[in-house]
Amino acid sequence: MKIIMLGAPGAGKGTQAKLIAEKYGIPHVSTGDIFRANLKAGTELGKQAKVYMDKGELVPDELTVKILLDRVAQEDCKNGYVLDGFPRTIPQAEVLKKALAELNDDVDFCINVDVPDENIIKRMSGRRACVKCGATYHIEHIPPKKEGVCDNCGEALILRDDDKPETVKNRLDVYHKQTQPLIEFYGDKVKNVDGTKDMKAVFDAIVAILG
């Protein structure tokens, strides 16, 4: 099963993608997590991506597409995957479509997690992330067991630099201009879920769609 998560930054794509990955036994592939891991490791890719991420802009398609295609070509992706944060532009979606078409394949579902902009800024300022294992929490809605510490791996949690309100506003603009058109691109494959509900209710709605 090949699934794409659509929705604004902070809508809950990563949170739901992790639950989907666990239930359906497929990898969770997040381009944002790959960039952050590179940034932490000090690689050239991380340094290049940081310039764009810090401003809330998209990393250029040439860089992003390559890391995504390399990742989904790995052995653990052969039975499917859930993509979180990719594609974010029409050209990215076209490259993925072409790569899958060469394998006589296509995306099965696009889950659009719908959350109005008003809710997003609040969500982002409460988000805490683990850069080591990619886990995500919210200080009010989905808190870790011990404040500031990742439940999975014990690493200290961070407030992402790009979750500051000024940057979030720009990320929302970028989302509306460059990513929202994907809803039309994927047409009938897109299934909407109400992302303002609590985490479990959103997941139940997704499972009802995926079967």
Contacting residues toward ligand AMP, per CB under 6 A: 9, 31-32, 35, 52-53, 56-59, 64, 85-88, 92, 162, 171
Ramachandran region, residue 79 (left: φ > 0; alpha: ψ -120 to 50; beta: rest): alpha
Residue among 16 and 64 whose Cβ is closer to ligand AMP? 64
Token look-up 């719908």 returns: 114
Residue among 107 and 134 whose Cβ is closer to ligand ADP? 134
- The whole-angstrom separation of Cα 177 and Cα 171 is 10
Alpha helices in 105-174 (DSSP H): 117-125, 165-174
- Cβ-proximal residues to 25 (8 Å cutoff; 6+ apart), any chain: 79
Q: Is 160 considered catalytic here? A: yes
Measured CA to CA in angstroms, residue 16 lies from 9, 63, 198 at distances of 13, 26, 11
Instruction: List the single partner that 171 binds among ligand ADP, ligand AMP, none, CB under 5 to 8 Å by kind.
Output: ligand AMP
Residue among 61 and 208 whose Cβ is closer to ligand AMP? 61
Q: Binding ligand ADP by CB under 6 A: which of 2, 3, 6, 15?
A: 15
Residues marked as catalytic = 13, 88, 127, 160, 171
Kindly list the residues in this chain that would bind ligand ADP in the complex (CB under 6 A).
7, 9-15, 84, 123, 126-127, 136-138, 141-142, 198-199, 202
